[in-house]
Amino acid sequence: MSAVTRPASRTQARTRRTASPRKVGRLVLRYVLLVGVLLFAVFPFLWTLAIALTDKTAGGSIYAFPASLFPRAVTLNNFMEVYRTFGLGKYIWNSVSITALTVVGTLIVSALAAYPLARFRFPGRELIFGVIVATLVLPGETTFIVNTLTLKKIGLLGTHLGVVLPTVAGAFGIFLMRQAFLAVPHALLEAARLDGAGEFTVLTRIMLPLTRPSQAALGIFTLVTTWNAYFWPMLVLSAAPDKLPLSVAVLKLKGQFNYDPFNIAAGALFMMVPVLLVFLAAQRLFMRGLEGAVK
Amino acid sequence: MRASWRDTLLSYAFLAPALVLLTLFTFYPLAYGSYLGFTEYGGARFAQGLAPKWVGLENFRTLLADPLFLTSLGNSLKYLLVVPALQLASLAVAVLVSRELPGMAFFRAAYYVPVVTSVSLAAVMWEWVFNREGTLNWALGALHLLPAGGAFGWLNNEHTAFWAVMLVTFWRGFGYYMVLYLAGLQSIPAELEEAAVLDGASAWQRFWRVTVPMMKPTILLCSLLSTIAALRVLEEVLVLTNGGPLNSTYTALMYVYSKAFQGFNFDYGLASAAGLVVAAVALLLSLANFRLFRESDGEGGRA
């Protein structure tokens, strides 16, 4: 609530005193600092974008500062070239496949597990919830070793399913969905049950439609993390280079095209633009998901 | 209300997928991985399909005698220097963007963009900054901070690579903690700050006397998360320097990874033991963090 009332009371506090030159000075200083941090945060992206759009046939080095930040001749050729010669489509498809499987899996598993934890009393509930929350703090330094051994044993090493399965059941998602389910009014569920709805119907017809924002937050969060994941897919797919996602393939690109930063930059944008668009479109949900998991 | 059989059965049916996956991919590997730390397993033994052989503390003795492990553990501890810098900066940035001024939503979103950047992309982009001909040398040259011909590759120099990698960790992290601090700042009652303003407190005094004490739980949480993350740094190192040059960026988890997966003499037993050491240090540091903040909390209460 305080977040709602605050801006109003703040303006009051401000208008009570007149704007002095010192205040204006402080405001200017604030924006100078803001722009400074902005440059630090986004400079690498802007430069990558500039390099990717530069027409390399026009000559010039990417290191000719500051001229290389403002390409004289702009082209999309680098994108086409890297897409064709490196077979980028394959890696994009792998990323899409791994990410889609993970998002769908996480949403299903989290919602299913969160429902009884939020709505039923049953022996073992506190224990199970405690154990799930404990996974947030348990140091898992050795889990990736045993997990690769397990995947090998069950024949999933080198497959997308092998990348996905170990990641879909997580405390983050279960916790987030439980919080959302707890907020659904009890009377609504009672009414549905009196009407003879089974628990699965209650979950799919009442709980899920009413908790769309939380699912969206969890879905977007999972999407971004999975799309960007590097270490785990690299490990699971080390023997299946054709199944690697873009996040891992991009570095192979660097090895292969070391002499051609234009192509590397274009490849990097292929990886970055989708996630950036998703983030910008849904940043409120995204950050809410983050806060929700921490509270 | 007593639990009915029906509810119990249904509950476990709903929980089944999560419980099966968690058991298989989280609890079992935690337990089995700990066990492997006390065994001889890997290499020829693994190839022949033999079971792990219990060797007690043998692996830990090997680790203590391995200069590479000691170096890697030292580097991981040194990496913790990023924590205070990261926390102070994110808190400051959060305060900077907390006022509802024009453009703030844009700045908040832009600062968060490095967080949603994959580590491999960060590696590609920062390589161009740290390069011999890169932006950093150019900027230092333009500011006359670099002697003529003094340009060098920051990631290829054993004195600077460590700090260069740390800067990337810093870059990828500050937006994340900024959001958490922002949430904390917004939960501080506005009346408190207004009262301080009416009492004639300067912005600086308000920050240290009102904001920081009220933010203590958030600061504890963030430094805890950040400490553990710093101790577990692996991806940045892997993609930026691969532990080099001269092992100057070789961290403890890098040791775990390379013992388990690199070369022909992979050693799951030794790697697991090294992982246990890192886990133990992480736990100890978390406890220390808790203590530290509880004690300073007590002092604040008395003052």
Substitution target from B99, B111, B113 for chain A, most A beta carbons within 10 A = B113
Alpha-carbon distance A237 to nearest alpha carbon in chain B (angstroms) = 13
Q: Where are the alpha helices (DSSP H) in chain B?
A: 5-22, 28-36, 43-47, 58-64, 67-79, 82-98, 104-112, 119-130, 135-142, 161-186, 190-198, 203-206, 212-214, 216-231, 235-240, 252-261, 268-302
Pairing mode, strands B39-40 and B53-54: antiparallel
* Residue A74 φ then ψ, to 5°: -100, 140
Tokens of B79: 């990496």
Residue B253, Cα to own-chain centre: how many angstroms?
Answer: 12
Between vectors from CA B203 to CA B197 and to CA B205, what angle results, nearest 5°? 90
Question: Virtual CA dihedral for A147, A150, A152, A155, nearest 10 degrees?
Answer: -120
* Cross-chain residue pair B113–A264, CB shorter than 8 Å: no
Q: Is A176 on the interface with B (CB under 8 A)?
A: no
First-last CA distance in chain B: 47
Q: Which residues of B touch A41 (CB under 8 A)?
A: 110-111, 113-114, 171, 175
Residues in chain B: 303
CA-angle at A72, arms to A68 and A77, nearest 5°: 90
**Chain B hits for A261, Cβ within 8 Å:** 128
What distance in Å separates the CA atoms of residue B232 and residue A118, rounded to the nearest whole number? 33
Give the largest Cα separation in chain B, rounded.
Answer: 81
Of B33, B110, B124, the CB nearest to A254: B124
> Contact A68/B142 with Cβ under 8 angstroms?
no
Subunit contact A141:B268, Cβ cutoff 8 A: no
Residue A280 neighbours by CB distance under 10 Å? 14
Structure confidence at residue B301 (pLDDT) = 40
Q: Which residues of B touch A65 (CB under 8 A)?
A: 135, 138
Please tell me whether residue B243 adopts helix, strand or coil conformation: coil
Question: Length of chain A, please?
Answer: 295
B41 interfacial to chain A (CB closer than 8 Å): no
- A137 Cβ under 8 Å from any chain B Cβ: yes
For residue B189, the model assigns a pLDDT of 87
State the pLDDT at residue A11: 47
A66 cis-preceded (ω within 30 degrees of 0): yes
What spatial distance separates the first Cα and last Cα of chain A, rounded to whole Å? 16
- A279 to chain B, minimum CA–CA distance in Å? 8
Angle made by CA atoms A191, A215, B26, in degrees to the nearest 5:
110
Burial B177-210 (b: 16+ CB within 10 A, else e): bbbbbbbbbeebebeebbebbeeebeeeebbeeb
Do B232 and A141 make contact, defined as CB atoms within 8 angstroms? yes
Q: What is the pLDDT tens value at each position of chain A, 295 positions in all?
A: 334 444 444 444 444 455 688 889 989 999 999 999 999 999 989 888 988 998 887 766 777 777 777 777 788 888 998 899 888 999 999 999 999 999 999 999 999 999 999 999 999 999 999 999 888 878 788 899 999 999 999 999 999 999 999 999 999 999 999 999 999 998 988 888 888 888 888 999 999 999 998 999 999 999 999 999 999 999 999 999 999 999 999 888 877 766 688 888 999 999 999 999 998 888 777 776 666 555 4
Binding-face residues of B in 268-297 toward A, CB within 8 A = 268, 271-272, 275-276, 278-280, 282-283, 286
Interface predicted TM-score of the whole assembly (ipTM), two decimals: 0.91
Q: d(Cα A254, Cα A48) in Å, to the nearest integer?
A: 13
What pLDDT score was predicted for residue B164? 96
Q: Taking a C-beta distance cutoff of 8 angstroms, is the pair A231, B235 a contact? A: yes
B29 in Cβ contact with A147 (< 8 Å): yes
Tokens of A218: 């969890």
| Angle formed at CA B206 by CA B202 and CA B211, multiple of 5 degrees | 160
Query: Residue B94 is encoded by which pair of tokens?
Result: 């959060």
- pLDDT the model gives residue B3: 67
**Assign residue B143 a region: left if phi > 0, alpha if psi is -120 to 50, beta otherwise?**
alpha
How far CA B28 is from CA of A129, A140, A209, A289, B117, in Å, comes to 18, 11, 35, 28, 31
Cis status, amide bond into A166, omega within 30 of 0: no
Instruction: Count CB-CB contacts under 10 A for residue A130.
Output: 9
The answer to whether the CB atoms of B18 and A268 lie below 8 A apart is no
pTM: 0.90
Measured CA angle at B168 (ends B166, B171), to 5 deg: 115
Q: Is the torsion defined by CA of B203, B207, B208, B210 positive or negative?
A: positive
State which residues of chain B have pLDDT below 70. 1-3, 295-303
